[in-house]
Amino acid sequence: EESGGGKASGDGGRGRSRFRRGLLNMTDRDDHEGPKERDDPAAGPCPPVESLEAIAAGMTMDGELSRHLEACSDCAEALARLRAANDLLDEAAAGIRGISDAVDEVPGYELRREIHRGGQGVVWLAEQVGTRREVAIKMLLAGRFATSRQRRRFEREIEVVASLRHPSIVTVFESGVTVGGQIYCAMEFVEGATLDAWREDKTPSIVDAVRMLERVADAVATAHRRGVIHRDLKPANVLVSSDGIPHVLDFGLARLENERDAERAELLATEAGEFLGTFTYAAPEQLSGDPSSVDTRADVYALGLLLFEMVAGERPFPKPASVADLVTHRVQAVAPRLSTRRRSVGRELDLIVARALDPDPTRRYETAGDLADDLRRLQDGRPVRARGDSLGYLVWKAVQRHRLPAAFAATVAVLVV
């Protein structure tokens, strides 16, 4: 469930691709260049090797491709070899990271201890020499071995967070370069627990859970008003301090809706077929691999998942057996009503969660601010804006889900008339 790119990027991505393809060619004399027709008609044509490389790197795949891999032993074996090549490259990268794990000196700060390590960065607890203030120092995990795109993304994250002002968004104090040449940023240190750990420890009531998520949604709404889409909202990226205030973290995968600078827009844009974020808390449109379909409503979906989990104590969807199952189930399935998991949930909260988790983005709240407003209305006893589905809409969705039985019933009805 860790965040990260589905494809390698920059020069490193091309190098990994050449290495994987070389390994595939050495172990498969037919080169498996695809597409080619299979003897089994049900399998269909084989996908090109580039598609297998992308899947091995973590790209989501649709149901048709998943069924092909089940039916085609050649593609399944080629995919297994590509994944093995990825494992080998990851081991080599881990060795490089081991070289860069030496503590670097940050001018004006004394590093105390490491407090978090993620897929791209490492965070240290430090003390500012002049003010004796505790801060969090974030640096790239790869250090001086980071690619140019990783560095630009990190610099962009600093710029994005520094432009946001909200009590529930961590404050960036400054940024600079370490003695060893690494980019770093000094930010507000929040001593607390992640959102899921807070829930497990406090066991909040429905009212407390709603109030907590309203504060988180309000913080995300500030980012949305600045045109920033977080794209990786999850419990690990929300810290709750000892005084009960949530703090949204990690805007490393954030994207701007209206970016004027073409170079920065290209940097932040997700390539088609590349996935950035966390599968478990991703909206259906994020799993589709189409970057143009992702907007502020993807964050609304993630907030709906967090709200559901905080109130019910569990996620709305069962744990999938594979990534392919997750994609298929998430795109097609409608989340269950929150009241089916916790009986004391009222109708208004049921409607709010259902609207936030609607698989159709056009039927969700437009921004996190709209969701936060409805949660405030709920707490104040005012009517909420979320509404239940009309009978006509429910019938239309049922027809879409069951096209063949509906067509048969319509045909019989016409013949009877």
Cα–Cα distance for residue pair 7/2, rounded to 1 Å: 14
3-state class (DSSP) for residue 248: strand
DSSP run (H or E) holding 183: strand 183-188
254's tokens: 């954030």
The answer to whether 208 touches 169, Cβ cutoff 8 Å, is no
Q: Beginning with the edge strand found earlier in the chain, give each strand of the sheet holding 192-194 in spatial order.
A: 192-194, 238-241, 246-248
- If one counts every other C-beta atom within 10 angstroms of the C-beta of residue 328, the result is 18
Largest CA distance in the chain: 87
The angle at the Cα of 177, spanning 173 to 183, to the nearest 5 degrees, equals 80
Cα–Cα distance for residue pair 247/394, rounded to 1 Å: 38
Cα–Cα distance for residue pair 158/43, rounded to 1 Å: 47
CB within 8 A of 165, min separation 6: which ones? 171, 222
Q: Rounded to an integer, what is the distance from CA 264 to the centroid of its chain?
A: 20
249's tokens: 């973290």
Cα–Cα distance for residue pair 65/50, rounded to 1 Å: 13
Nearest CA to 304 out of 336, 347, 257 is that of 336
77's tokens: 């074996």
- Which residue out of 218, 232, 250, 299 is catalytically annotated? 232
Helix 73-100 × helix 10-27 angle, to 10°? 140
Identify any residues that bridge with 246 across adjacent strands, giving them in sequence order.
240
Q: Is 31 a catalytic residue?
A: no
Nearest CA to 352 out of 328, 331, 330, 376 is that of 376
Q: Where are the beta strands (DSSP E) in 237-380?
A: 238-241, 246-248, 255-256, 276-277
Catalytic positions are: 232
